[in-house]
Amino acid sequence: MAIDVPENVVVSKLDELASWCRKNSLWPMPFATACCGIELMATGASRHDLARFGAEVMRFSPRQCDLMIVAGRVVMKMLPVLQRIWSQMHEPKWCISMGACASTGGVFDTYSVVQGIDRFLPVDMYVPGCPPRPEQLIQAIIDLQDKIQREGTISGREFATRSRQERKRALVELPVITLPRGVSHLPQGVRVD
Amino acid sequence: MIDAATKTALSEAFPSIAWSEFRGDTRAVVPREVLFEVFKRLRDEHGFDFVVDITCVDYLNFRGAEDRFGLVYLLASTHTNERITLRVFVNEPDLTVPSAVPLWEGANWLEREVWDMFGIPFEGHPDLRRILMPEEFTAFPLRKDYPLQGRGERHNFPVLHREDA
């Protein structure tokens, strides 16, 4: 049975239509804590022009955003703030971990710096670099757009899949080291994690 | 370098101060008992009206060191451009040092930082809380017996999943 469709009508799936809308109007929440934030600003500015990818509307209220870009190192004192901001964002939402520090702690392997935000938050896209060039961040946003288009659903079913629930690393249990009484420091060569 | 008359006056008033010079800078090791009096006299009579910095050194396992902690006070006079370095050594278990906040308001946050990082309690400080680390943090991270990577505090957070938020 042939259906006569006018030439200005496109037939698609509702999921794909929703994903197409979402991916082309990402509203980033700039969580910029370090030098990556400078590159993030450069990405949004005129030379690199994030508006070409529909993601230029940076909002400092998490309730208006659907893409959190964590740019820079996150310390112990900042992580609860980061988690709260993530919780305040409306679904569907995505997270880009920008730069070595946000992804792994980078060179800051110290007592106060969180060794990768993906230990405590779901991360969709990682950007390597220290700091990454704006081109790299743009590539991450393009890749995220592809990901949204590829697997996005209007009801957000893709977020409930097993792979999205799993932690990204084999760091299932990270022990808090408590030293025995009277021992004030660990022997040399013993790592605490 | 400080004025010779200042140094003479202080030496006569406080004979327990040990003086030294290094490349034109005057340094004084002050016993804790007279520290506040020395501060007061420097401020009131010799014009040292500005605390540049208050910091601390942990001499644990330091070669030749006899004391555990050395507090360093850098004072300056904005009128005469004189500068002086005061040091006071403290040992466990009694690390208490008189606070300089009653004399210089600017010492407030500097002393809070030393308390946060080294655990030196400043007696008479109006608001001795942690300034850099979270309040629930229990260790003093710049002490030499604290491991560089911490004791797991940086991993001690709840994990947010997609279904949680």
* All domains of chain B in start order, with CATH: 4-123 (3.30.460.80)
Task: Choose the closest CB to B145 out of A86, A113, A185.
Answer: A185
Q: Which residue has the higher pLDDT, A44 or A159?
A: A44
Q: Which residue has the tokens 């969709």?
A: A124
Residue A131 confidence (pLDDT) above 70: yes
Give bridge partners of residue B56 from the DSSP assignment: B71
Tell me, what's the pLDDT at A48?
93
Structure ipTM over 0.95, yes or no: no
Residues B89-103 have pLDDT tens digits of: 999 889 999 999 999
Q: Is the dihedral of CA A36, A42, A44, A50 positive or negative?
A: negative
Rounded average pLDDT over A54-68 = 92
Paired tokens of A177: 């080291």
Chain B residue nearest residue A177, CA to CA: B151
Give the single-character DSSP code of B157. S
**Is the bond leading into A175 cis (omega within 30 degrees of zero)?**
no
Give the single-character DSSP code of A49. -
| Residues 53-92, chain A, touching B (beta carbon < 8 A) | 76-77, 79-80, 83, 86-87, 89, 91
Rounded average pLDDT over B16-21 = 92
Q: Which residue has the higher pLDDT, A174 or B61?
A: B61
In 3D space, the residue among A33, A23, A31, A30 whose CA is nearest the CA of residue A44 turns out to be A30
Q: Which residue has the tokens 């030294």?
A: B20
Paired tokens of A151: 């697997």
Residue A85 confidence (pLDDT) above 50: yes
Residues A173-186 have pLDDT tens digits of: 455 455 555 655 55
CA–CA min distance B124, chain A (Å): 27
CA distances from A104 to A118, A129, B45, B48, B89 (A): 8, 11, 54, 47, 39
